[in-house]
Amino acid sequence: MRGRAATIGSVPEPTIYDIARRAGVGIATVSRVLNGHQRVTEATRAAVQRAMDDLGYRPNRAARRLAAGGPNRPRIAALLPLFSTDFYASVARPIAHELMAADMDLVLYDVANREAKNRLLDRIVDERACEALILCSMGVGPERQQQFAQRHIPYICVDYQLPGVPSVHVDNVAGSALATRHLREAGAKRIALVGGPLTAHAFRDREQGFLSVAGPVAPVLRAATATRDAARAAVRELLHADPAIDGLVCVNDQLAVGALEELAALGRRVPDEVQVMGFDDQPLMDALGLSTIRQPMVMFGSWAAQAIIRRVNQPTADIPSAELALTLVSRRTTRPLGKSSGSRRKTSA
Amino acid sequence: MRGRAATIGSVPEPTIYDIARRAGVGIATVSRVLNGHQRVTEATRAAVQRAMDDLGYRPNRAARRLAAGGPNRPRIAALLPLFSTDFYASVARPIAHELMAADMDLVLYDVANREAKNRLLDRIVDERACEALILCSMGVGPERQQQFAQRHIPYICVDYQLPGVPSVHVDNVAGSALATRHLREAGAKRIALVGGPLTAHAFRDREQGFLSVAGPVAPVLRAATATRDAARAAVRELLHADPAIDGLVCVNDQLAVGALEELAALGRRVPDEVQVMGFDDQPLMDALGLSTIRQPMVMFGSWAAQAIIRRVNQPTADIPSAELALTLVSRRTTRPLGKSSGSRRKTSA
DNA sequence: CTGTTAGCGCATTCAA
DNA sequence: TTGAATGCGCTAACAG
């Protein structure tokens, strides 16, 4: 049952009819002052203005647009943990640019957790707030998918695989395995994982990739949150429990930075005593000299933009999912390999 | 009888009337399939669906919302060079959070330059796309202000002073002077400025602040863009022209990072041979050990959110502008002061 | 300068 | 299950 859902029990929002009545004028006049037309006497103008102030009038945007006959530009909503890591800013940028070029509106929603995601999606669906959806690093359950289908809302996933849903993603398992192998090849004997909350699918995969090469009993400690401080605590605990650890695989760059800080505080030299690998290659990691696994962030965004554009323009089109390549970037937190192999290689995944 | 959209010249967008006619059903039925109601025969449902596909039908969002009577949530547009520097992500975050808590919609627009800004503002004003505006690090001319006033669109400025417009800002001149003075006190004899494009008001002010303490003939070189590469080029040129330079004031952190890179490439040790100051204290600068001037990014965002909320809820309210304090953060790119003074001080501005 | 009127495109009764 | 009719709140002719 819908209706005036927003104003349950409370006073209905005033309309121009209310304003007109209160100011003793016609609705057209109200509309005129609302739009700043010049042909209005200052007196009546003031009267209308007062009426609006008194009643706390706020124009209804939907009605204005409908009446004015403005363009019905497609609106794309993108849900992502925008403020959690620079990674997301990097994928959001190409999305924003390409969508703007395609004359579509992009609305960025920062989603910090599953609960926030569901609240937001409920609202978006209920209010038909967008024509299409980009889900970044997150999935949706079957009931939600059904809801989207029923409402004819096309959607795609970025950095997340969902069966039957067009998506761009990487092989996190392989990437993490690559990182671990690199550490081993660089001479690390005892390698530990600085993991993250398993609510993040990527973290889970990377943990698995790590275990696949470091062995099932390799030390693993999951930071409580994907923050530098949590990483510091994890590393401290890890090294306290096993001082022989000489290699750290971190499930993302942010954690790696925290690890580096803690290592410095502990007086462990990097990479001589302990080597560190990150994951993402987010901005500034080169300046920090962090060895890491580079994610194709710009391509993520580009792909998402192109896919959603096609999806909106021809709803029946089939969009094949894509798996992008991960790149190993070796910098100063790992020892150079003895061999003559270059400093960058790609997964053959 | 309802008719065609008022689009002049181009083909009018099909409406449910067109769909209904083509599918040989009533508009109510079209509406039903559109909203996924269950009480529709699969046959008619398919017919409608086909008609929609054939005509490339796209529902009009404004009409849906108007008819459905959904909430008329205030929409706040924020214009900022979101993707130029991490600085902006840091101010956007509190804005997003507080506006969401206030049940307002935030639409983030990335604006790269003046032209993009004006295009966007034209559209926003023309389409009445928002109830209020947050302008970040940018101003607007008198004609634009008049336009806003006429349309009753409240707006505020962040990181920018505009006479008569509520704003939060800092004293960039004083901040830069502080940075320069710090370098001098730390022993730098010959200090140069790595400036940025003067299209950015903040850069201009910081340049002025630098000159006010370094003297009017101190070396100044403006990077072509506020990027690390441009900074590298500038620093190279600066040191080539005057190898005696032992202090670099950069107008923002990003440039400082570039400067640091170039210094490393040049084999100049920091801070022993050359000391460097940044500006912003954007994320990760602590990890890099950059000495810098910290901007109150979170407070910028908070202030903006609170101000715009008040402005929307009571349009006649007076919002006083605020000047926030800048903090000097001394880290590893400057030499510790001989005295016992702490590592952080505030401007007394 | 101002009021009256007629839609904008859609969701939703209410009959059929 | 479906169609005809009504109105959402506002803008824009068109009269006065």
- Mark yes or no for CB contact A53/B92 under 8 Å: no
pTM, full prediction: 0.89
Q: What are phi and psi of A78, to 5 degrees?
A: -120, 125
Can you list the positions of beta strands (E) in A81-159? 105-110, 132-136, 155-158
User: Is B11 near chain A, with CB under 8 Å?
Assistant: no
pLDDT given for residue A337 in this prediction: 85
- 3-state DSSP assignment of residue A279: coil
Range B135-143 contact pairs with CB under 8 angstroms and sequence separation of 24 or more:
B135/B79, B135/B160, B136/B78, B136/B79, B136/B80, B136/B81, B136/B88, B136/B91, B136/B160, B136/B304, B137/B80, B137/B81, B137/B88, B137/B200, B137/B201, B137/B202, B138/B79, B138/B80, B138/B111, B138/B114, B139/B201
Residue A328 has pLDDT above 90, yes or no: yes
Closest CA to A247 of A285, A269, A273, A212: A273
Strands B247-250 and B191-195: parallel
User: Is any Cβ of chain A less than 8 angstroms from the Cβ of B61?
Assistant: yes
Least confident of A133-137, A315-319, B188-192, B201-205: A315-319
A103 in contact with chain B, both atoms CB, cutoff 8 A: no
What pLDDT score was predicted for residue A314? 83
Q: Does A120 touch chain B (CB under 8 A)?
A: no
Whether residue A298 lies within 8 A of chain B, CB to CB, comes out as no
Give residue B313's pLDDT band: very low, low, confident or very high (50, 70, 90).
confident
> What pLDDT score does A347 carry?
45
Is pLDDT above 60 for B38? Answer: yes
Residue of chain A whose Cα is closest to the Cα of B84: A93
Candidates A289, A279, A293; CA nearest to A335 is A289
The DSSP call for residue B343 is S
User: Residue B93: which of B302, B295, B279 has the closest Cα?
Assistant: B302
More confident residue, B308 or A342: B308
> Which strand C nucleotides have any atom less than 7 A from protein CB atoms?
1-5, 7-13
- As a rounded value in angstroms, the CA-to-C1' distance for B141 and C1 is 31
Q: Do B86 and A86 touch (CB under 8 A)?
A: yes
* Residue-level pLDDT at A339: 53
For residue A65, give both structure tokens: 């647009």
With vertex at residue A121, the alpha carbon angle to CA A118 and CA A123, rounded to the nearest 5 degrees, is 110
A211-270 tens-digit pLDDT: 999 999 999 999 999 999 999 999 999 999 999 999 999 999 999 999 999 999 999 999
Reported as half-sphere exposure (CB side, CA atoms, 13 A), residue B73 has a value of 20
Rounded CA separation A180/A186 (Å): 10
Alpha carbons within 13 A on the beta-carbon side of B17: 7
Average pLDDT over residues B213-221: 96
Mention every residue, 6+ apart, whose C-beta is less than 8 A from residue A48. Answer: A19, A23, A25, A29, A30, A33
Instruction: Please give the pLDDT value at position B71.
Output: 86
Assigned token pair, B256: 């400082």
Residues of chain A contacting residue B97, judged by C-beta atoms under 8 Å apart: 110
Please say if the pLDDT value at position B95 is more than 70. Answer: yes
Per-residue confidence band for A2, with pLDDT thresholds at 50, 70 and 90: very low
The residue lying closest to nucleotide D9, measuring its CA against C1', is A63
Chain A's closest residue to B97, CA to CA, is A110
Give pLDDT tens digits for A183-211: 999 999 999 999 999 999 999 999 999 99
d(CA B266, CA B256): 15
Confidence of residue A7 (pLDDT cuts 50, 70, 90): very low
How sure is the predictor about B10, in pLDDT bands with cuts at 50, 70 and 90?
low
User: Quick check: B63 and A68 CB within 8 A?
Assistant: no
pLDDT 10s digits, B254-290: 999 999 999 999 999 999 999 999 999 999 999 999 9
Is A62's CB within 8 Å of B70's CB? yes
pLDDT in tens, A265-285: 999 999 999 999 999 999 999
Using alpha carbons, select from A76, A83, A138, A226 the residue that is nearest to residue B95. Answer: A83
Three-state SS string across B89-154, please?
A: HHHHHHHHHHHHHCCCEEEEEECCCHHHHHHHHHHHHHCCCCCEEEEECCCCCHHHHHHHHHCCCC
Rounded Cα–Cα distance for residues B55 and A284 (Å):
49
Kindly list the residues from chain B whose CB atom is less than 8 angstroms away from the CB atom of residue A2.
68-69
Q: A127 and B152 in contact by Cβ < 8 A?
A: no
Here the tokens at position B119 are 């295009």
Give the number of other Cβ atoms within 10 Å of residue A213's Cβ: 18
Interface of A with B in 208-267 (CB under 8 A): 228, 257, 260-261
The pLDDT of residue A308 is: 96
- Dist. CA B207–CA B201, nearest whole Å: 10
Does residue B3 belong to the interface with chain A, where contact is any CB pair within 8 Å? no
Nucleotide with smallest C1' distance to residue A32 CA: D11
pLDDT value of position A208? 98
How large is the average pLDDT for residues B182-211?
97
Q: How many CB pairs below 8 Å do chains A and B form together?
A: 128
Cβ <8 Å between A71 and B127: yes
DSSP bridge partners of B157: B135, B167
B260 chain-A contacts, CB cut-off 8 A: 287
Confidence of residue B343 (pLDDT cuts 50, 70, 90): very low
Query: With an 8 Å Cβ cutoff, are A6 and B287 in contact?
Result: no
Measuring CA to CA, which residue among A174, A153, A148, A162 is closest to residue A321?
A: A162
Q: Of all protein residues, which has its CA closest to the C1' atom of D2?
A: B29
Residues B251, B279 contacting (CB under 8 angstroms): yes
Q: Are B76 and B105 in contact (CB under 8 A)?
A: yes
A230 contacts A288 by C-beta, under 8 angstroms? no
N residues, chain A: 349
Give B6→chain A minimum CA distance, Å: 7
pLDDT, tens digit (0-9, with 9 covering 90-100), for A68-114:
888 888 999 999 998 889 999 999 999 999 998 998 988 888 898 89
pLDDT of residue B338: 67
B194 vs B6, higher pLDDT: B194
| Confidence band, pLDDT 50/70/90 cuts, at residue A35 | confident
Tell me the pLDDT band of B12, cut-offs 50, 70 and 90: confident
Checking if the pLDDT of A52 tops 60, the result is yes
Instruction: Name the residue among B34, B36, B62 with its Cβ closest to that of A66.
Output: B62
pLDDT bin (cut points 50, 70, 90) of residue A6 is very low
Report pLDDT digits (tens) over A131-148: 999 999 999 999 999 989
Rounded CA separation A30/A51 (Å): 10
Please report the pLDDT score of residue B1 as a whole number.
42
**Residue A343 has what pLDDT?**
47
Integer Cα distance of B199 and B176 in angstroms: 17
- What's the mean pLDDT in A155-160? 97
pLDDT at B156 over 60: yes
CA B71, B74, B79, B84 torsion-angle sign: negative
**C1' of nucleotide D4: residue with nearest CA:** B26
Query: Is A119 at the interface with chain B, CB within 8 A?
Result: no
Residues 73-92 of A with CB under 8 A from B: 74-75, 82-83, 86, 89, 92
Question: Which of A5, A53, A71 minimises the CB distance to B71?
Answer: A5
pLDDT at B2: 44
> Which candidate from B53, B75, B287 shows the least CB-CB separation from A257?
B287
| Nearest beta carbon to residue A288 from set B6, B60, B287 | B287
- On average, the pLDDT of chain A sits at 91
What 3-state class would DSSP assign to B53? helix
In whole angstroms, C8 C1' to B50 CA is 25
